[in-house]
Amino acid sequence: MKQEIRKYALSNAIEYNGQAELGAVMSKVMGENEELRQKPQKVKETTQKIIGEINQLSVEEQKKQLTEIAPELLQEEEKEEKELPDLPGDTDNVRMRFAPNPSGPLHLGHARAAILNDEYVEKYNGDFILRLEDTDPKRVYPPAYEMIKEDIEYLEVDVDETIVQGERMETYYKYAEELIQKNKAYVCLCPAEEFRELKKKGKACSCRNNTPTENQKLWRKMLEGEYSEGEAAVRIKTYLDHPDPAIREWPAFRVVDQEHPVYGDKYNAYPLMNFSVAIDDHLMNITHIIRGKDHIPNKIRQEFIFDYLDWDTPEYIHHGTLSIEGVELSTRNIKQGIDEGEYNGWDDTRLGTIRALKRRGIKPEAIRKSMKALGVSEVNSKFSWETLYAENRKIIDEETDRYFFVPNPTEIKVSDAEQETATPPLHPDRNETREIKVPKNPRLMIPQEDAVKIEKGDIIRLKDLYNIEITGPAEARYIGNSLEVLKKGADIIQWTTQENTPITIDRQGKTEQGVAEKTVEQLDEGEIIQFERYGFVRIDQKQPLRACYAHR
């Protein structure tokens, strides 16, 4: 039974990037064997155990084992990479922008916008503009200016121009004055609640009837700091009967009392996003804009500016929203968590920031492929961590060296064994090996998880060493080195000698203690390796030795 289950579990795992699925394997096993259908519970328990072991192997190791026991099941399928649809409109001189707010470093949500813009710019040989939108003093985190640039560099996005909105305030003032002079904008002094009620009813406030000259005087007072926060705002004239009340008389400028973290008290009146974005998209000759469909109301607001100033409107592509579960993305919550000691920094492995993914060993190419696969569809989608890990596995699997690691180690004494030198391959596709000296009748360390499952009489294959038979609690005897035991369903167990090195694994906030083979001490910080039957990790620090878990 074990052999049947093992071959189908290996086949299923290989088909799905190294991860076998219980239901699929059981369906195949029981469908092929009528006898096993009579004992589903036992089949389930055995299948779960075998899948647990197989899912910890590299895809190469899975293929190697399947070749040995059932080569006829080994099939390779190449999936065609999904291409992005063509951009609408004129594509002769494509210019696109990625415009984050410097409230913190970039996260996965930002990565989608940055990567999709970069893909299109590359496709049409266009220009990529990085625009830092920092005109809200309350949201600016000064270190983020450089952090964003570092994250963009890690994502391998080529930036042609970098623009900082806070350095363009006089430009925004100029166009605000032009709109006031054209009687397309006005200074509103109404209390917020009073204006809100009028807007709901589709009625104009008294400020809307002020002349351009009167509005210019009020505007000057805003700039000179004669109004406090909440006392004055510049509003764009729209349609009072617009079906969406949020579009009616939307605010373009407001007074902010708080000093800007970068520009200090130089300015009193700051543009809101819809105003500064519309101005910059025109002046920077942006041809195409990709963003979430939650920005459709902003498109409508910004079109008033384009219309009033007689400018051409860019092409807009609105994609569905992306749900990213399991990690914190809010820069405000993250900063608060860092300040309160909940997170150890912006690269805490529990976070969805780009630097957290980098720390875990997630490659930029994997992030890019995952985001490109999402595309610009209007359908809302849920981010698949498994897709990201599968893409990352394809990239790093070919280049990462293999080492032994034993989580939660427990000792087992092996008798009848001579001194050996194990020579496990550094990588299954290369001829390089490493040496592990194993003494006579050794006391080896094996995972506690495996130790509690084995029983007297069980045959175990110590990976890349030899076979043992369990003779009692924490005791075994050497029984040879033949790989035939695998065909009979013997489990493979990871091990180290007493000459090992303690290591802590960071598993997204949870830590796991274990021991690794001594050679791991020689690795450099930042190096990505695979702990066999455990997963890929990135060496985080050397003293004391610590690694961050990526995935299986």
State the pLDDT at residue 26: 82
Nearest CA among 111, 100, 108, 107 for reference residue 145: 100
Q: Which amino acid is at 305?
A: I
State the pLDDT at residue 340: 98
Asked if 15 and 40 touch (Cβ cutoff 8 Å), the reply is no
Whose tokens are 């409508």? That residue is 300
User: Span 350-373, mean pLDDT?
Assistant: 98
Residue of higher predicted confidence among 358 and 6: 358
- What are φ and ψ of residue 410, in 5° steps? -135, 155
Report the share of the chain in percent with pLDDT over 70.
Answer: 99
Does 496 score more than 70 pLDDT? Answer: yes
> To the nearest whole number, what is the mean pLDDT of the chain?
94
State the pLDDT at residue 52: 81
Does 81 score more than 70 pLDDT? Answer: no
| Per-residue model confidence as pLDDT tens digits over 298-349 | 999 999 999 999 999 999 999 999 999 999 999 999 999 999 999 999 999 9
- If pLDDT is split at 50, 70 and 90, which confidence band does 78 have? very low
User: Span 475-497, mean pLDDT?
Assistant: 92
- If pLDDT is split at 50, 70 and 90, which confidence band does 17 have? low
User: Span 24-51, mean pLDDT?
Assistant: 81
User: Span 120-138, mean pLDDT?
Assistant: 98
* Alpha-carbon span 405 to 535, nearest angstrom: 10
State the pLDDT at residue 12: 87
- What are φ and ψ of residue 164, in 5° steps? -115, 115
- What are φ and ψ of residue 147, in 5° steps? -60, -40
Q: Which amino acid is at 66?
A: L
Residues in a beta bridge with 462:
493
State the pLDDT at residue 82: 74
- If pLDDT is split at 50, 70 and 90, which confidence band does 3 have? confident
What separation in angstroms does the CA of 136 have from each of 133, 271, 359, 387? 8, 8, 30, 36
Does 80 score more than 60 pLDDT? Answer: no
- If pLDDT is split at 50, 70 and 90, which confidence band does 86 have? very high
What separation in angstroms does the CA of 145 have from each of 53, 64, 163, 348, 353? 45, 48, 11, 19, 15
* Alpha-carbon span 146 to 338, nearest angstrom: 19
State the pLDDT at residue 358: 99
Phi-psi sector, 263: left (phi>0), alpha (psi -120 to 50), beta? alpha
Q: Tokens standing for 190?
A: 């109404």
* Alpha-carbon span 175 to 236, nearest angstrom: 12
What separation in angstroms does the CA of 307 have from each of 282, 317, 499? 12, 19, 75
State the pLDDT at residue 166: 98
State the pLDDT at residue 59: 79
User: Span 473-478, mean pLDDT?
Assistant: 97
Asked if 425 and 432 touch (Cβ cutoff 8 Å), the reply is yes
Does 281 score more than 60 pLDDT? Answer: yes
- If pLDDT is split at 50, 70 and 90, which confidence band does 118 have? very high
Q: Tokens standing for 476?
A: 């075994």
- If pLDDT is split at 50, 70 and 90, which confidence band does 77 have? very low
Does 519 score more than 60 pLDDT? Answer: yes
Does 60 score more than 90 pLDDT? Answer: no
Its sign, for the CA torsion 84, 85, 90, 91, is: positive
Does 288 score more than 90 pLDDT? Answer: yes
| Per-residue model confidence as pLDDT tens digits over 188-242 | 999 999 999 999 999 999 999 999 999 999 999 999 999 999 999 999 999 999 9
Q: Tokens standing for 12?
A: 């299923």
* Alpha-carbon span 270 to 135, nearest angstrom: 6
If you write DSSP's letter for every residue of 58-92 in order, what string do you get? -HHHHHHHHHHH-GGG----PPPPPPPPPPSS--T
* Alpha-carbon span 303 to 281, nearest angstrom: 11
- If pLDDT is split at 50, 70 and 90, which confidence band does 39 have? confident
| Per-residue model confidence as pLDDT tens digits over 430-459 | 899 999 999 999 999 999 999 999 999 999
